Each structure stands twice: as structure tokens, then as C-alpha cells.
Amino acid sequence: MTRPVIAIHGGCGVMAKLDLSGADWADARHGLGEALLAGWRTLNEGGSAVDAVEAAIVIMEDSPQFNAGHGAALNAGGIHELDASIMRGADLGAGAVTLVRRIRNPIRAARALLEQGSPVMLGGPEADNFAARSGLDMVEQSYFTTERRVASLASLKAKALEGTLKSASEAEKHGTVGAVALDIAGHLAAGTSTGGYNNKPEGRIGDSPIIGAGTYARDGVCAVSGTGAGEFFIRHAVGHEIASRIAYLGESLAAAAAYVIKSDLASYGIGAGIVAVDAQGNITAPFNTDGMFRGWIDADGNLFVGTHADVSSVLL
């Protein structure tokens, strides 16, 4: 029996340390802890890595703290268009939805596609219709909207007009949630869900629903979920690239992930981060921004959460 592990992220768009109030930190930490525990309980009850990833992501989609589900980013037209995917390492089964507007928990729709087997990906209104036919909870657009995202959209539009977009904070731009897990049967899984970035063009699809880019899992190698400038994750096929470095170069999980995030992607000056776990239960969570909401429960059952460079250990 494998000792299970789970790791999650709540996006690399964390506010600068000085701007993060005690209350913000407590809320974020609470959301991360709840998501980790939901996944961990699933694993300890003998649930699969896919079940654990879905359980953890649903909690973060339901929390207004994170850019996914309730609290998701708004596109340039003031609309929420959500992306999500999930992958099972055992057989490379995968499901993904993109540009969905009415599914309360897009990760559940991705899971339903995974279970159906084919197609791997559905987009737009037909993805919404698939979720409704599958009996998933459907909501109005207003369900996803929070004051913080409305303010971020207004601020980014103003900066775009002034030509000062580069000064926008990572928190205004980014978000995304993701989870990776190793279950007691030794299987890996990964999942990612996002509203994309604030003020993104209508119809823009990021890396989060792209298998091999924002999400990837392969038994015996690793499971990866990413956050950051999706266009670069797609071009570098980040999830698959990390798995390939491990499988073909024999690199450790930490070395492969650090290389891709801190060398390959950092060279563009864009924000990026991932969480990943390998078949031995090693966990890594590199990022090149000020911070990344993240947490994990290791094989000894120790829970850790962090926002910036420091990571706190919490006794379960």
C-alpha cells in the first residue's frame, strides 16, 4: 500500500506580501486547509487520486478567495468564461471543458468527460449543455462574480487605457486552482480549474484545460498542475515537459520542475508556478512570482500551507 499525498495551489497571483492583511492570509490559509483536508480524507478512505483531486478543487472553486468557480476572473466583455481539466495517470484518461459559462463546478464537468472516455475536451455552449445533461449544478453568471474581480477588471481596463498595464500586480492579473495526488494504490492524478486572467480577450483559452500544458499525470512518473501565463505553458507543454525530463533525463521531480519554471519560463519575465507529486510521493511547488497560494499533506500526514517564500506547518 502506498502512503498517499496531495498538493494543491490557489494560483501564483498572490498579493505582494505587504498588501496581504492578516485577515486575507487567514482566509486563504483556511481555504487551502479545507481543500487539502477534503482531498486527504478521500485518499485515506481509499478513494482514488482522481476523486481526491476533484474533491480538493471543488472546495477552491466554491471559495471566493480563488480565481475559479465562484470568484473567477472576468474577461474583457465582463463575462466569466471558465476552463478546467482533470487527468488520471493510470491510463492517461482525461477530461476538459473550456469557455463554459454556467457550470457551478467546471472540474466536475471535466471529470464527467473523463468517465465518459471520449471526447477528451468540450468547449462553449455544448460543454455547458453536456454538464446540464450530466445532472451537474448549473448557475447564472452572477454566481461567479465577486466585488474583487469587478474592481480588478476596472483597474486593468484603466491601466490598459493609460498604457500602464505592466504595473498591474500579479494579483490583479492571475489566479487558478489545481491539485495533484498519489493514492494508496500508487496511482497519480492532476486537475486544474480557472477563470483565466482578468480582462482576457473573449474566447481566449488558456493552459488549464490543455492536457500536457496546465495539467498532466502519468503513473510511474508525476502529476502536475500549473498556474501563470497560460500561453507560455501551452508553448512549452509544461506538464508534459516536466514528466519528460523525469522519464527521459532521469531528473528528480524537484530538479525537473525547477528547471521548467525557473529557467525555461522565467526567461520570458512571466509569472508561473506549479505543484507536482511523483510516483514516490515527493512533492514540489516552485514559482517565480512574489508568491503562490499552495499547500500539501506529505506521506507522513504533515500539512503545510504557504503564500510567499515561507511555508507553515500545521498539525492535523
Q: Does the protein bind ligand ASP through residue 175 (CB under 6 A)?
A: yes
Residue 186 interacts with ligand ASP (CB under 6 A): yes or no: no
> What angle, rounded to 10 degrees, do the helices at 106-116 and 124-133 form?
80
Q: Output DSSP code: residue 63.
A: S
69 binds ligand ASP (CB under 6 A): no
Give the one residue of 65, 75, 176, 288 binding ligand ASP; rule: CB under 6 A. Answer: 176
- Rounded Cα distance, 229 and 270, in Å: 6
Provide the mask over 189-208, with x wherever binding to ligand ASP is found by CB under 6 A and - wherever it is not. Answer: -----x-xx--------xxx
Which lies closer to ligand ASP via its Cβ, residue 71 or residue 230?
Answer: 230
The question of whether 176 is a catalytic residue gets the answer yes
Q: Does 230 bind ligand ASP (CB under 6 A)?
A: yes
- The residues facing 231 across adjacent strands are none
Question: Strands (DSSP E) along the chain, which ranges?
Answer: 5-9, 82-88, 93-100, 121-123, 177-182, 188-194, 215-218, 222-228, 272-278, 283-284, 294-297, 303-306, 311-314
Q: Is 85 in the site for ligand ASP (CB under 6 A)?
A: no
For residue 175, give the H/E element and its range.
none
Which CB, 69 or 228, lies closer to ligand ASP?
228
Give the DSSP H/E element, type plus range, for residue 112: helix 106-116
Spatial separation of the C-alpha atoms in residues 85 and 191, rounded to whole Å: 6
Number of residues that bind ligand ASP (CB under 6 A): 15
Of 98, 227, 289, 307, the residue at the interface with ligand ASP (CB under 6 A) is 227
Nearer to ligand ASP, 13 or 191 (CB): 13
Identity of the residue, 88 or 200, whose beta carbon is nearer to ligand ASP in the bound complex: 200
Determine the longest span between alpha carbons in the chain, in angstroms: 58
Residues that bind ligand ASP in the complex, under the rule CB under 6 A? 11, 13, 174-176, 194, 196-197, 206-208, 214, 227-228, 230
Catalytic residues: 176
